[in-house]
Amino acid sequence: MTSPDTNDIILAERCGPTLVLTLNRQDKRNALETAMYILLEKHIDDALADPQIANLVLRGAGNFFCSGGDLRSLETRAALPVEERAALIQRLHDLVLKLKFCPKPVIAAIEGGAAGAGASLAFAADLIVAASGSYISMAYVKAGLVPDGGGSAFLAQSLPHQLAAEIALFGGRLPIERFQQAGVVNRVVEPGTALQVALELGQQLAEGARASQSAILQLLDGPDQNAFRRQLDREKQLMAIALGGAEAAEGIAAFKEKRAPRFPQPGSA
């Protein structure tokens, strides 16, 4: 295993044939920021150029995978013109596309939970290993927002409509075991062992036919690739609009003030 990358918001470590990419903002439960997208894309590109790297594992530092976008940064973005908001969302979408259509297998190792755009990063992986007791949530609606990062596409493609609607409309935390039952999570393991199990899967893959694996991933991605990209564009536009609305302003304010939001209702004074 090599030493961590010097840029500390993303750690990159070689573990045999696997490159482990770690989101490293533990004080914010590994919340995402734009610089992380750029660094992750660079590490993925480097992995694709290195024939010794067979696959990638994406994880979060500490005991949490990723809490999604930082609402405090979204408050700043809300003041921007809608076109600039959309351009910033596109940076996240570029990363999601790179993960989802990566020609080398990507494994997400979840401890604690994956929320918002963090859930989208996990869903973009080819395989998901998650600790028991962890959860997935997409609580955009609680902040007056809509899913981005492919969140709506992943829910619609991977889950029955009613379960997808429950996740998106209520924004609650669903236990990881529910996703395993739905066939979305491949392994549920003891807490603290998600990375270890992900690396074991990575080793098994590395010992297999790597060119065949890449071709298989292309086939699996092929039928829905254009539809997925179109859905990302729809998400980008709707999220950019929602971010400038009154509901988002109230939702973000409530988050900062640690209170329940009081969303404006039609016909209210």
What is the rounded end-to-end Cα distance, in angstroms, of the chain?
62
Residue 73 phi/psi, 5-degree rounding, is -70, -30
Structure tokens at 108: 């997400």
Which amino acid type is present at position 227? A
Pairing mode, strands 127-131 and 55-60 = unpaired
pLDDT of residue 2: 42
pLDDT of residue 7: 61
Coil, helix or strand at residue 10: strand
Query: Structural domain boundaries of the chain?
Result: 10-193+200-255
Say which DSSP state 60 is in.
E
| Domain 10-193+200-255 listed as CATH 3.50.50.60 | no
**From CA 141, how far away is CA 266, in angstroms rounded?**
17
Which amino acid type is present at position 256? K
DSSP per residue, 117-166: HHHHHHHTSSEEEEETT-EEE--GGGGT----TTHHHHHHHHS-HHHHHH
28, 67 Cβ separation under 8 angstroms: yes
Render each residue's pLDDT in the chain as its tens digit; 269 residues. 443 444 699 999 999 999 999 999 999 999 999 999 999 999 999 999 999 999 999 999 999 999 998 877 877 888 899 999 999 999 999 999 999 999 999 999 999 999 999 999 999 999 999 999 999 999 999 999 999 999 999 999 999 999 999 999 999 999 999 999 999 999 999 999 999 999 999 999 999 999 999 999 999 987 778 899 999 999 999 999 999 999 999 999 998 899 999 999 887 65
146, 152 Cβ separation under 8 angstroms: yes
pLDDT of residue 3: 39
pTM of the model: 0.93
HSE of 44, CA atoms in CB hemisphere, 13 A: 23
Q: How many residues does the chain have?
A: 269
